[in-house]
Amino acid sequence: MMMETVLSRSLRLVFSGGAAALGLGLLAQPVLAQDAIQRVEITGSAIKRATAETASPVQLISRDELLRSGKATVSEYLQTLTVDGAGSLPTGFGNGFAAGSTAISLRGLGATSTLVLLNGRRMAPFARADDGQKSFTDLSTVPMQIVERIEILKDGASSTYGADAIAGVVNIILRKDFEGLEVRGDTGSSRYSDGKQNKASLTYGRGNLETDKFNWVVNAEYFQSDRLHNSDRKDRAHIGKGDLRPYGYPTNTQFASGQVRGNNDALGSPAGLIRNPTTLDYVPLTSCDGLSRSSQAGVTGCIWHQDQFRDMQPEIEAVNLYTRGTWQVNDSTQVYAELGYSKRNTAFTLVPPSITPVVAFPANAQYPAGLINYGSGSTAILMAANHPQNIYGVPVRVRYAAFDVGPSERQANNRFSRFVIGAKGQAMGWDYDVGYTHSQSKLELNYTNMLNMAVVRAGLSDPTSKYFPYYLGAQAGKNPASLYAAMATIATSDSSTKLDILDFKASRELMPLPGGNLGLAIGAEHRREKLDNPSLSGTIDGSINSSYVAAFGDSKVSAIYAELLAPVLKTVELSGAIRYDKYEKFNSTTPKFGAKWTPLKNFALRGTFSKGFRAPGPAESDPRSQSTGTATTSDPIRCPNNTPAPGGGTSNDCEASVAAVKVGDPNLAPEKSKGYTLGIVWDPIDNLSLSLDAWKIKRTNEINPLPYNEAATLPTAVRNDNNLVVNGVVIPNSGTLLLSKAPYRNSSFTEVKGVDLDIKQRLRLGDWGRATVGLTWSHVSSWLRAESATTQYQYVGTHGNCDTSNCAGTPKNKGTLNGSWDIAAWNLSATVNYRDSMKNIYFQGGPCASRLANGNGAPGDCRIPSFTTLDMSARWKFGNQLTLFASVNNVTDKIAPLDPLTYGGMSYNPMDASGAIGRYFKVGAHYKFF
């Protein structure tokens, strides 16, 4: 009651997502009985205080909000927040580097710049970096049912948490002092009776800290989700379709393959294509009948589309276990321990393999360039002159999608464990907390139906081999099982990350000031992080049809920090903090300052300034680390100024899917940042609160790969030999772009800025109960990246930046409007989620990234429409023990807009997944035994 009294007198409320930040801060510690006013820690500060407000903007998500949302996981909920942006990793991103994981990207600055904590402490990152570069915390390992609240610090943090929290902090706080036994279960299905999900959890706790001097809580959670194929949405307009010809698009879109695109230019076909040695035209071995559902009469080759194989959502089975014990040793000492374990298995289906890939790997004596082009040049796989399907009598090039081998399945099995032991209490006038944390992530990858390229070569090129001849297309039925046993292989990789942390912090009050006592906090930590991410078996030398992706590293960081809170006047509070981090090769000193002024009891001004620092990660700096990613770009050689070049350039070159090799560089310098916020908090009338905060973050010296369009101009770019021919003259090195080198480098800077608006109205309705209405709005006014002093890209309101944002786009506005009504035993709630429209361009001033068959910009006026969904839920309490609940996501069954550029979702933006899946229903029950 005392806490509620203090909070009711609070002058300003920081709220978002329909919940007020009512002061249950990070790592709330036990209060001494002699304290006149209960004091708690607030997100962003290590100093206890009696009110919930700091100079920093904080967003709080309550347990109630999370559970009634109808979302299946913590990450799924967080990715609906307006503060989440490009670079976020949704569950359905199965063709990404970090498939099977999920992550949040505050301010669109990427998961690497977003620090995720569990109970105020770090977790070991996912064992495979996104895009081969970005280390992040996998939110999938967090058990949802035992979350107490989530607090988001939106201005970065440089003292308590770490200077690398450039974009902000997400702190997930689990229940710590629960008593009783509760079970909860729910089940869900889409309106199509598929995509079924089931969840069950049990929470048990016993012991009261005041009377029993101990508390122990344990939670077990099981989650299962069915696989959802893109083909399952074949009747839902464009959703999940690779073939967009019915919507006016050309044949050659990113999810189409098998077609002959021009002289000496063809893609892998399930019918098989061989090249006429005289004309250099590719001709099909047979018709497409029975080989591809996407075949089209009159089109050369055998058109096929990826939606007949790829999954929209993975198959998931997960178990989360968590337990915490707390012992009150005496009035001033408390000992605690936490143990967590997460097991999550995911499986995605992808497309059948091509037998002529371009693969990259670390350079060796045989291949000093570090790549093999199995489709052309001296390393090409050729069909032997005496192969039964070769009609030309000389060795010829071949293109083939191995439908006979079948689609590949990616299985990602992640095991995460975490152990914390610590003590906290009071000594010599200080409140202290000291602890040791060990966490570990183990990732097992299994990729089925990968190709042993030596067997493929022998089966096509070597008449003396026992595998010869390898029949393609319609004649594949002649192949013996022994051939497939040798040729189709399972590629595996076992990766791990380990994180060990020893940390200490203490705080106390010092001399009195006119506005209250001066507060001081000090702290220190030492952490060691190890990453061992070997590449898939067979990729070290290009012997399978996949490029090398690996990262290794071992880093140690020591840090000390101090913080002061100075209520210099009753209406003015100043705060300052400084942190020193010592890395093996770098060190940094990062300050943070804040101020709030309360001229009126219902109005306050606040602002902060902070600096950040991020050392290069192991994937970026270790020379043993290498990755090859793919993105869509316009080839500047074959499609200058978005116009096909004379002599053989086509529209395909304006939307080319390009692979780029990135190798760790030990000479990279650290990233640095400066962050600013300035805002107001105002209660204009009773029960109405609003906050308005302007923010800006500038990240300098940042680590990025060379943009793909710039990498395409380098002499190291690998191209096919179908060079442009102008007036009979062949232009060297102007063939179809296959692969480029995009080395990491320290770019100039990225600067993002915008405004956050939060409004909340509480309504007292008498006999009709009570209600709450809230609006959260984030406006991004600029998202500017400077690659150099002369080259800058403005991404706000566009589909870019595709090489670092997963091609999810950077909308200017995102908003959430929510309402909740409590009456008697009922709670009814509704949430409207809004995402602004985006220009379908890579950057401001650039040409349209996608075009219709008639040449017009697509979609529509070259703009991805906005997307708005409505979610609703209801809860009914039957006595004190039983609660029944139900939810409907995407109540209006809104279809996600057609997005031809994104590669995360097939013809829809992966962040609009609810519009791809369709209306989704859930029902469940919660029972409390005691």
pLDDT tens-digit series, residues 122-147: 999 998 877 777 788 999 899 998 99
Distance, CA of 828 to CA of 826 (rounded, Å): 7
Q: Which residues of 252-261 are buried (b: 16+ CB within 10 A; e: fewer)?
A: bbbbbbbbbb
Angle at 172 between CA 166 and CA 176, to 5 degrees: 145
pLDDT tens-digit series, residues 699-755: 999 898 887 778 888 888 888 888 899 998 999 888 888 888 888 888 889 999 999
Distance, CA of 650 to CA of 644 (rounded, Å): 5
Q: What is the mean pLDDT of residues 491-495?
A: 96
Q: If residue 710 lies in a helix (H) or strand (E), which one and from where to where?
A: helix 708-711
pTM over 0.85: yes
The confidence score (pLDDT) of residue 715 equals 82
The confidence score (pLDDT) of residue 49 equals 52
Distance, CA of 797 to CA of 495 (rounded, Å): 37
Residue found by looking up tokens 């139906």 in the block:
449
| Position with higher pLDDT, 501 vs 378 | 501
Whole-Å CA distances, 496 to 111, 129, 130, 437, 448 = 19, 11, 15, 17, 21
Statement: residue 85 has pLDDT above 60: yes
Distance, CA of 219 to CA of 213 (rounded, Å): 21
Q: Worst-scoring range by mean pLDDT, 259-263, 425-429, 793-797?
A: 259-263
- Identify the band that residue 48 occupies on the pLDDT scale cut at 50, 70 and 90: low
Q: Does residue 890 contact residue 164 with C-beta atoms inside 8 Å?
A: no
Statement: residue 14 has pLDDT above 60: no
Statement: residue 16 has pLDDT above 50: no
Q: What is the mean pLDDT of residues 816-830?
A: 95
The confidence score (pLDDT) of residue 221 equals 96
pLDDT tens-digit series, residues 592-639: 999 999 999 999 999 999 999 999 988 888 888 888 877 777 888 998
pLDDT tens-digit series, residues 259-281: 888 888 899 999 999 999 999 99
The confidence score (pLDDT) of residue 295 equals 64
| Position with higher pLDDT, 339 vs 70 | 339
pLDDT tens-digit series, residues 408-424: 999 999 999 999 999 99
Distance, CA of 233 to CA of 668 (rounded, Å): 45
Cβ of 454: how many Cβ atoms within 10 Å? 16
Beta strands (DSSP E) in 51-195 are: 58-62, 114-118, 121-122, 147-153, 168-174, 180-190
Distance, CA of 669 to CA of 594 (rounded, Å): 28
For residue 550, the 8-state DSSP code is B
Statement: residue 793 has pLDDT above 80: yes
Distance, CA of 495 to CA of 412 (rounded, Å): 11
Distance, CA of 733 to CA of 291 (rounded, Å): 35
The confidence score (pLDDT) of residue 15 equals 29
Whole-Å CA distances, 434 to 110, 425, 557 = 31, 9, 17
Q: Which two tokens stand for residue 805?
A: 């944002």
Kindly write down the DSSP assignment for every residue of 600-667, as one continuous string.
ETTEEEEEEEEEEEEPPPHHHH-TT-EEEEEEEE--TTTSGGGSPPTTT--GGGGGEEEEEEEE--TT
Q: Does residue 161 contact residue 117 with C-beta atoms inside 8 Å?
A: yes
